[in-house]
Amino acid sequence: MSAIRLLVLGAVRRHGRAHGYQVRADLEFWGAHEWSNTKPGSIYHALKQMAKQGVLLAHEVAPSAAGGPPRTEYELTEAGRAEYFNLLREALSSYDQKADVLTSALGFMVDLPRAEALALLRERLGRLAAWRSAVTDHYVPEDGPEPLGHIGEIMHRWVSSADAEAEWTRGLIGRIEAGTYSFADDPGDSFAGVLAAPEAS
């Protein structure tokens, strides 16, 4: 899964209709250029490609009073909306997503109802446990990696990673269960204060 695809679809959805600069401003505000391959050129390329693929609808709008060329605004199509939520659900429930994909999903998890987000994170916990068990079929963490030689460090890292990810996921589940954050089925704007300021006209 591509982090930029999830990020761009999510950012466009937040605005209803957005041009490339708005999407770029939101993602830079989140620091996405630091933790993913989301660069200005890749954002504009993704917008154009997804419009060709039918997940975004492109609208050419008149130039601003300040001048400049017409801008293209994008909005999600029904196919785009379906893909966005599929990507979001997959990223939250999978145990083996790349860090930038999971990070992207965390940024948009509040687009889901609270109960669904919790169910997906619990599914992630189950998948982490299954993965850990598959590793420990061949490796006993209590014995340490040394009996397997330096190759044992690979499995030691896998188990340590699974344990750390499970601990973090349980913590997130606990915070959400306690009522932290505003989700799609809660009153108010779940993104208040976490989007870039609107561009001056």
pTM for this predicted structure:
0.87
- 158 pLDDT higher than 60: yes
Instruction: Check residue 87 and give its pLDDT.
Output: 97
- pLDDT higher at 87 or 191: 87
Name the band, by pLDDT with cuts 50, 70 and 90, for residue 155: confident
Name the band, by pLDDT with cuts 50, 70 and 90, for residue 38: confident
- pLDDT higher at 55 or 194: 55
Please spell the DSSP secondary structure of the chain, one letter per residue: --HHHHHHHHHHHHHSSEEHHHHHHHHHHTTHHHHSS--HHHHHHHHHHHHHHTSEEEEEEPPBTTB-PPEEEEEE-HHHHHHHHHHHHHHHH-SS--HHHHHHHHHHGGGS-HHHHHHHHHHHHHHHHHHHHHHHTT--GGG-SGGGGGGHHHHHHHHHHHHHHHHHHHHHHHHHHTT-S--TTSSS-TTTTSSPPPPP-
Segment 92-116 mean pLDDT: 94
Instruction: Check residue 144 and give its pLDDT.
Output: 86
Which tens digits make up the pLDDT trace of 44-96? 999 999 999 999 999 987 666 666 667 899 999 999 999 999 999 999 999 98
Instruction: Check residue 196 and give its pLDDT.
Output: 57
- 157 pLDDT higher than 80: yes
- 200 pLDDT higher than 70: no
